[in-house]
Structure formats: structure tokens, C-alpha cells
Amino acid sequence: MSIKTITEEDIKTLETLAAKYPVRRSALLPMLHYVQSIQGMVSPAGIQVCARVLDLTPAEVAAVATFYTMFKRFPMGKHHIGVCTNTLCALLGGDELWKQLTDILGIGHDETTADGLFTLERIECQAACTVAPVVTVNWEFMDSMNPKAVRELIEKLKMGAPVQSTRGVQITSIAESGKVLAGINDGKYAESPLADDSMLAGLRVAKERKMSAPTGKGAK
């Protein structure tokens, strides 16, 4: 799989992202997402470019890129599939979904299929316990999944058929999602539905019981 070169136009976009922040180095995470959206990974060349734009050392940029698991140092597939296997998701079927996906795709954690279509990742927590077990496609949620739904999901993605995330936009690619994560508005936010009842249950109960978060010393 060939790695795309970062163009002068891409560097202008990185400069624009850096200019959004009072302290330019605060733009590093969005910039890494943008580099990954262009190259399908965070390459050594991508690290060098980010370092140059932000006046950081390559080592400083690499330290961030290797700390966060969302940034990959290997070529990703068109679709990133994340499977939550933390406690609640695992108990409700996450482990079985993981086994099924490894069998279907023939790959394991942080591996990419030979056709370059899928990258699979075993994720510790997606912060969506109310709709467990959860799978993400390009970081868009597919809630309350089961073996049949997972098989249908993969088949649709293979065929290029439309796939709507449970509470997000229509699935595109990890490259397009990366641009959104970089802070580049694709204008599709209005397509996302509001939070459902299960997500708001805790807030509703707290209001009914007049509960509030404790305030610490110095809190206003």
C-alpha cells in the first residue's frame, strides 16, 4: 500500500489548524488526525511536517503520536473497525463479536486485511456502556450489536452499500472521519440524531431525586 505524499496544500491546511489555537502546539492532535487522514497513517514524514509547522522537535511529535492509540504507525484500511471488550461490553457479547470479526476478516488486533479494506482494533472502552456491546466503524457508533448484525455490517461495507451509524452520520471512510476529528467541518453534523433514552436515564433519575455532583474546595 503506497503512502501519499503530504503536499504544499496539505501544509497550508496544517498551518490553518495551528492558527486556531492561542498556543500553536495545542493543534498537534488535530494536525496528527489530518496527517493520518491524508496518509492512512502517521508516517515519519508526517511527524517531520507537524514538527516543522509547530516548531517542535520530531521526538516531541512522535511521543504524542505513539502515546494515543488512535494514531497508527502502519497503513490503515479504508474502514477502521473498533470492538469494545471492556467489562460490560465483554459480558454482553463483546468478546464473541471480537472472535467473530477476527474469523470473518482473518486478522487480529491492529492488523489490516490484504485488500486494504479493514483495520481491526480491540478497544478497552468506547464510553457507551448503556448500549453495549458496541462496535465503531471509523469512530462512528454501531450500538447494541449482535453476531447477525456484525455479519451484515461487514458485508455491506465490502459491497460499498450505505451504512448508517446508530447515532451518527452515514459511514464514509476513516480518511473522511479523520478530517472531522481534525476539526474540519464536513457539514454533516445535523444528520446525527439526539441522545436516546438509555443515554439520558442517569440524568433523568438524578433530576427526579434532586441529586447533584459534590463540590470540592474552591468550587464555584
Domain 8-67 class?
mainly alpha
- Name, in order, each residue with C-beta under 8 angstroms of 89's C-beta and a sequence gap of 6 or more: 126, 129, 132, 133, 134
* Residue 175: exposure state from Cβ atoms within 10 A (0-12, 13-18, ≥19): middle
pLDDT value at residue 218: 62
The pLDDT of 143-154, averaged and rounded, is 96
The CA distance from 196 to 160, in Å, is 28
Output the average pLDDT for the chain: 92
The CA distance from 87 to 146, in Å, is 16
The CA distance from 114 to 192, in Å, is 32
- 111-112 sheet: strands from edge to edge: 111-112, 118-123, 79-84, 135-137, 140-142
Going by pLDDT thresholds of 50, 70 and 90, the confidence category of residue 201 is: confident
pLDDT value at residue 149: 96
pLDDT value at residue 140: 94
- Indicate the pTM of the whole model: 0.87
Task: Work out the percent of the chain whose per-residue pLDDT is above 70.
Answer: 95
Residues carrying CATH 1.10.10.1590, the chain: 8-67
Residue 159 has pLDDT above 80, yes or no: yes
Fold of 79-174: Glutaredoxin (3.40.30)
Q: Which of 47-51, 66-70, 164-168 has the lowest mean pLDDT?
A: 164-168
The pLDDT of 135-162, averaged and rounded, is 96
The pLDDT of 114-127, averaged and rounded, is 94
Q: What is the CA radius of gyration of the chain?
A: 19
pLDDT value at residue 130: 87
**pLDDT greater at residue 201 or residue 118:** 118
Going by pLDDT thresholds of 50, 70 and 90, the confidence category of residue 41 is: very high
pLDDT value at residue 220: 57
Residue 219 has pLDDT above 70, yes or no: no
Residues carrying CATH 3.40.30.10, the chain: 79-174
Going by pLDDT thresholds of 50, 70 and 90, the confidence category of residue 53 is: very high
Residue 49 has pLDDT above 90, yes or no: yes
pLDDT value at residue 172: 94
The pLDDT of 146-152, averaged and rounded, is 96
